[in-house]
Structure 1
Amino acid sequence: MKSALEPVTARALLMMPEHDKRLELIRGVVHQRPHAVWAVGAASAGGLRALGAYVEPRGLGEVVARAGFWVERDPDTVLAPNFAFVSAQRLRALEDCGRNFYYPGPPDLAGEVTCKVDQPEEAEARVARWLAAGTRMVLLIDASRRTVAVHRPGCIPLHLTDDDVLEGGDVVPGWTLPVRDIFA
């Protein structure tokens, strides 16, 4: 039997019976995230639909919702953004672990959605974890303010409002999205 002080592994997290809860693993410690409020769910769906509508017909990769990404080992960290994109070239990593486990690494793009009930420090910590893990673009979407902060490694965040257009740059080449469409 494991000691209470031993870190939880990604495999153990997957086997936990609390499937109705939003569980993540941060350096071997299980964290429960609350279910999303309506504004967060709607903005998550808006980002997911828009990204998927561009990516999938072009065969650029896959867009997923709340999938787990195994981004650190020993102790393990498994994070689940509201939505994410993994490029076609990087999907080959699923061959090693299969589609019934967490993706072995970070997504190319992670979409994290917050609202006024969320703590800003927690959102910034999530962005920092994604970037440290190797995610190339993190979209921090604030559903209450209808803004998007685009985070990229080594760059100052780009802050967009309803009147701006989000661009996928070299992460999702050619993808553009009016910010207001995320909240439509």
Structure 2
Amino acid sequence: MTAITIDFNSVVKLTDDQFYQLCQDNPDIKFERNQWGKLVIMPPTGGETGKRNASVIADFVIWNRQTKLGEVFDSSTCFKLPNGPDRSPDVSWIQLERWNALTDAQREKFPPIAPDFVLELMSPSDSLSETQAKMREYMGAEVRLGWLIDRKSRRVEIYRLGQQVEILDAPATLSGEDVLPGFVLDMQFVW
């Protein structure tokens, strides 16, 4: 099952509050909204992708509990990015100072902030070109570091703010660089 994109813009342009309410009224459907305001209905992942994503997020949570540098979010968290889209990365992380600068109300709904780090773990039904477009949206929102992991091809695209995309073939590890100091993802649990 692939993502479905619906363009209601000629009929109605949903406000942020209306989009939030749509998501609340339909909790069994995972919605995102791209930079053009089109609704994207995301299918659930399969077992293998879900298992690997859980393993990856566990590594982030353990690292973050040890460093206490920020907050980790799972794929259920939707962010209202400053450049327009509403997106739910598979894993994301925000520096603690930036997260704490939001009001309680902003943190409760779809936080109006770009994460410092995002990870997209492709499932077999994902389109590479659509996932790359999503990564470009993240970079347009000034996400500092992003990883697009394609298990099928064993390829990783590393997105850094203001830089060209770096492509790695079957890396053994990925470094969090200066965005996630000391974090290293062991790819044996991903492949």
Partner of 2:102: 94
Q: Is 1:22 matched with 2:36?
A: no
- Normalised by the length of structure 2, the TM-score is 0.84
Partner of 2:15: 9
Q: Is 1:41 matched with 2:47?
A: no
Distance of 1:82 and 1:172 partners within structure 2: 16
What secondary structure does 1:99 align onto?
Answer: helix
Alignment CA distance shift 1:147-1:180 (3 Å): farther
- Which sits farther off after the overlay, 116-125 or 138-147? 138-147
Contact preservation (8 Å) 1:64, 1:83: yes
Deviations 1:92-118 (A, max 9, x none): 233263432111111011111113332
Contact preservation (8 Å) 1:163, 1:178: no
Q: Is 1:69 matched with 2:79?
A: yes
Q: CA deviation at 1:161?
A: 4.6
Partner of 1:171: 179
Partner of 2:162: 154
Deviations 1:31-82 (A, max 9, x none): 2111112232122212211111101221111111021110146xx4211111
- Which sits farther off after the overlay, 82-91 or 148-157? 148-157
2:41 to 28, 32, 35: 32
Q: CA deviation at 1:180?
A: 1.4
Contact preservation (8 Å) 1:161, 1:179: no
Amino acid aligned to 1:20: D
Partner of 1:83: 91
Alignment CA distance shift 1:45-1:152 (3 Å): same
Amino acid aligned to 1:97: A
Amino acid aligned to 2:18: A
Contact preservation (8 Å) 1:50, 1:182: no
Long gaps (5+) in structure 1: none
Aligned residues: 179
Distance of 1:151 and 1:161 partners within structure 2: 15
Among the aligned pairs, what percent are the same residue?
23
Amino acid aligned to 1:91: W
